[in-house]
Structure 1
């Protein structure tokens, strides 16, 4: 049973994160290439704005911010699950190659399987999931040892190798493609938020609505898997089955996110660590904080990046890397 003081601390941190997210969205809605004054935001949200104001807010800025927030949540939770099942503080869907696997699948689908626009939006998460799943299986097989089980350091090194190889594969795929398609994949590689319309949100929401509650139900299993394997087996947990189920969950979360945001790394690395520093390692308490923290971090990265360079700004993936790379080096040296 969790201590009341810890639960109160979690509630306070969640309230702070809600406030930071709301503040970041408020600033993001009122700033940008097209002017929309802050004193007109509330009336426009209530349907009392001009056509121009409502178009800027509801068709341009708000969908982008919502999709960024949801994708950050998915990436952060995916990272928390990966770190739990591998007992590796450096695990992240972008670092270990899962995002790159999803990217190759999306590139192949985009280049060689033309479909209608309405089908394309909802097919992307499934295509990304297939590519990420195949990559995760290959990484798992290469990092697994029959004598010592899954080796955390070997998992990260194998994942980095797969990530580099798959990124090279994407470059080969686009080398002979049309200019328009090359531009799309180049933006995806940079982590540019490209799914900036409401249909992309409806395509992503069902994945999160199912996988976040499912992960919360598996919080106790994650706590046990974070211990060593003899202890987990001793309390009656089927280690390999639970690890496989949770790995599929992490892959699905990461794939659904990167299918609409591009190749974004480090959010899944930073958010779980920051959440652990705030509330400790118990996953029942950790997961809600991680989810909100990841959403806010990616939203902050995208909002900041959009205003640094005119007219397109810096992609969210590059901003996330600028924030996360020093933290990754710190963890690497610490480990």
Structure 2
């Protein structure tokens, strides 16, 4: 029995949804374990179908073990339409955030039933990680930690940001990562004031603050970390800012647990930075959930008012950014527990001056 499908069915009963068409590749992986690139699932309250073409039949049989595997020999949605007619389904929910208007138009033409848009239903199940998921994410994070240790040994003035990014990316792959979880950010000197300053041709110079924000995919799950350090003395103001950001990061760790909200944690971090006089320089939310995607629920922002649950994994990434001078961000991945949290990111956080 696929426990994830059973949990989804309970939500389907609550929402009065007789069937769901799953097309999001992340939700497909979560519900079916399928890692190929072509396929979809049709789940009813009694049956679960996985539809794919000839190329993936053997793979689907091994991975989607609790599904009836159907081979489409023509357009895949025609095969779904046949199943809908065969079972007399009168309404099918579809993932509105993952279906283009062109695809929706195709569904309207082919399906003999009503179509109901849904959003966030399957994603809500993904927010609470199972023990196996936590173990995989911990491994992904350990790879990122090792890459940070590696880069501290090789980075030096005269290298470009792109060279550093490539070093990080290749090293993570050498440790078993299947790829990066997002485009690696390397922002040095004045560019460290850019929160999402992906690596450029800028040459690192003595005295630069360097922000590295990076992560990897391991067995389908992501890691995400940020560390800021200096190549030589960066000056008193940037050292002061570093300590403020670190204090905000640590305050969140002290407060994060099941029952608190993203709104509260965002306030906690923002108060530390605001009380130090840099509130306007912290212009983004505190964090986000991670899992199969680099940004998924639950959020960590003033807009997120739901209480966290044990098994949520969130990021804690306060920052201060001063145009023309530089910036600091420190990011950890936290596993929420009933009584607190486990800091999964193990890289040191005291200011490192190389």
Measured against the shorter chain, the TM-score band is under 0.3
Flag the structure with larger Rg. 2
Query: When you count helix as a share of all residues, which structure comes out higher?
Result: 1
| TM-score normalised by length of structure 1 | 0.27
